[in-house]
Structure 1
Amino acid sequence: MNWKIKMMENQTGKVAIITGSNTGIGYHMAYGLASKGANVVMACRNLEKASDSRNKILKDFPKANIKLYQLDLADLDNIKYFANKFINENDKLDILINNAGVMIPPYSKTKNNFELQFGTNHLGHFALTGLLLPLLEKNDNGRIITVSSIAHNPGIIDFNDLNSERKKYSKWGSYSQSKISNLCFAIELDRRLKAGGFSTISLASHPGYSNTELQRYSILWRILNVFFAMSAKRGAEATLFAATNQIATEYIYWGPTGIIEMRGRTGKAKINKKAQDKDTAKRLWSVSEEMTGVKFLS
């Protein structure tokens, strides 16, 4: 379908959290929602950069309601602090977009000793979602959108070595593991929400191959971005469609539909069979609860 951000329905009165919204596709998610009247919460690790991005949006939409919150998804204590602060200061939440992430960095760990990509991209968002779910449920028809990637396709969840401590670290292997975990989580979350009779729904999206700062650790990818990547604005379309359009509730995973889903119009994205395995999803959920200490919908 030829859906564009300008076609988004009015979002006045809705409260939306976007993690990692100071740059890249996250910035354009914040921009798009603000342009349609939503109360936007930019949840970012670097508040200085987030403030600059907020000011850019306000320059185009002076009346936009945009709040800044500091959030470090590589620190469970910080995630809990953010969630408690947000719940205490806000009485509703309609949209949660789990967007922030790191991509192919040198080997490092989170503050909780998890491999950085799995710990940030999956575990951080798992914990955040569980902590914010009670607030989402205060309003009907809340939506949780978890951003995955076409890189989920080669991904394997190695339950024997989630933190890449036993084998040689693979930047791409760990990234793909985090992205298939994102998709497994989104699908399993929706299944559990439906089974529990909740009104909140869980969807997933991916940006195709978009030009963002996510590839900052690779000189080659920064060069390729110039010639082959979609713009970050185009990359944000599938997520905003999933977050706001009623048609999006008819499927669970949205993204570009061109050649190998790297670019193109928003549509139904293909889901690798591994990401649909219920036993894997249940095991991932259990392990994620154990690792984060955040339990919900068990």
Structure 2
Amino acid sequence: MDSIPDQHGRTAVVTGANSGLGLVTATALARAGAHVVLAVRNTTAGEEAAHRIGGHVTVRELDLASLDSVRSFAATLTAELPSIDLLVNNAGVVLLGPRRTSADGLELQLATNMLGHFALTGLLLGTLAAAPAARVVSLSSITHRNAHLDFDDLMFERGYRATTAYGRSKLATTVFGVELDRRLRAAGSPVMSVLAHPGVTRTNLTPRAWEHRGRAGRVIARLGLIATQPVEQGTLPQLRAATGTEVRGGQFFGPARLWETRGPVAEARLSREAADPAVGRRLWAAAEELTGVVSVQDAATPAS
């Protein structure tokens, strides 16, 4: 954490910043001097986190599973801030059990993990582009490598399986980050898109996902605590993506050891589907239709 470059004069927005990877990321950025906006669903928890972090920290309400909330949050930020230097699309959900939907009727894991961030990024691109060297960091997962996007059933209405839906949502997030990089480059935007994944990290998401399984679920959650690396270690790839001076658009960072499950930060491996431009174009078009948010070409370049 001590190797983070000085962040004074920079503004960072971190989604899901009141716990887990988001809290550690927000803390590191604030302690390096950044003004950090904690974008959280629960503002009470957000205020408690802000108090623990200290520094120049602002709390704003954001529910990524509601496109109305995403639009309201983005409108508030664009009115308050002349520019944003960093957007860390960190928030996510891991669900087990039956299929659930968002406020907009979308499959909840895809809605929260990818579509909400797609909409948020598109709505903030103008404010990001007003900064001299802004970045968007998308949080992937090693589960994306075993996933496949079914464009005939993106909402997973047939044969729903929660773990498969999670993998698809993380593949979609990864495809989004890669395709965003392609489009920003093509548009000549000053904004850079970078990706990261935390390996197998000890956060509060997995225990929550097992809560409804009773005693068996609690046992599995405890075993998970033993098998995973600390959240401080798992946060390092996204901090490298967010602040590394040598980082280039389109790079993907993760742990270096044990099949990228843990260890020091290194460049990570994309699945073939995540890197496929045809998949990127198709998902982008679907996301625009589902969210109503315009493309990079319409929004990424600041007004002259």
TM over 0.5: yes
Q: CA deviation at 1:225?
A: 2.7
Alignment correspondent of 1:49: 45
Q: Which amino acid aligns with 2:280?
A: A
Matches within 5 A, 1:236-255: 236-249=235-248, 252-255=251-254
Aligned-residue offset at 1:279 = 0.6
Corresponding residue number in structure 2 for 1:103: 94
1:61 is matched with none
How far apart, in 2, do the equivalents of 1:75 and 1:221 lie? 31
Quote the residue 2:6 is aligned against: 10
1:27 maps to 2:27: no
| Offset of residue 140 of structure 1 | 1.3
Structure 1, unmatched stretches of 5+, are 59-63
Q: Which amino acid aligns with 1:79?
A: V
- Structure 2: 5+ residue runs without aligned partners? 211-216, 298-304
Q: Distance in 1 between matches of 2:220 and 2:227?
A: 10
CA displacement at 1:251 relative to structure 2: 5.6
Provide the residue aligned with 2:143 in structure 1: 151
Cα deviation 1:78-108 (Å, max 9, x = unaligned)? 1000000111011110000000000124321
Q: CA RMSD in A?
A: 1.1
Distance (whole Å) between structure 2 residues aligned to residue 226 and residue 206 of structure 1: 18
Contact 1:251 1:268 in 2 (8 A): no
Aligned partner of 1:230 in structure 2 is 229
Spell out the pairing of 1:129-140 with structure 2 (5 A cutoff).
Answer: 129-140=121-132
Q: How far apart, CA to CA, are the structure 2 residues paired with 1:169 and 1:83?
A: 32
More displaced, 101-110 or 82-91? 101-110
Task: Measure how far apart 1:266 and its partner are.
Answer: 0.4
Q: 1:249 to 1:160 in 2, by over 3 A?
A: same
2:196 matched to which residue of 1? 205
Distance 1:233 1:285 in 2: 32
Local SS of the residue matching 2:209 = coil
TM-score, scaled relative to structure 1: 0.94
Structure 2 residue matching 1:261: 3-state secondary structure: coil
Distance 1:41 1:153 in 2: 31
Distance in 2 (CA, whole Å) between partners of 1:201 and 1:188 is: 11
**Cα shift at 1:172:** 1.0
- Structure 1 stretches of 4+ with a deviation exceeding 3 A read none
Secondary structure in 1 matching 2:247: helix
2:283 alignment partner in structure 1: 284
Matched, 1:188 2:184: no
Query: Is the 1:103–1:117 contact (alpha carbons within 8 Å) kept by the matching residues of 2?
Result: yes
Instruction: Choose the corresponding residue for 1:124, options 116, 125, 140.
Output: 116
Q: Whole-Å Cα distance in 2 between the matches of residues 142 and 19 of structure 1? A: 16
Q: Which moved more, 1:23-32 or 1:240-249?
A: 240-249
Q: CA deviation at 1:55?
A: 1.1
Whole-Å separation in 2 of the counterparts to 1:95 and 1:28: 15
- Determine whether 1:83 maps to 2:74: yes
Q: Percent identity?
A: 36
More displaced stretch, 251-260 vs 39-48:
251-260
For 1:222 and 1:20, the matched residues in 2 are separated by: 21
Q: Which segment is superposed worse, 150-159 or 101-110?
A: 101-110
- TM-score under structure 2 length normalisation: 0.93
| 1:142 has 2:134 as partner | yes
Shift of 1:297: 2.0
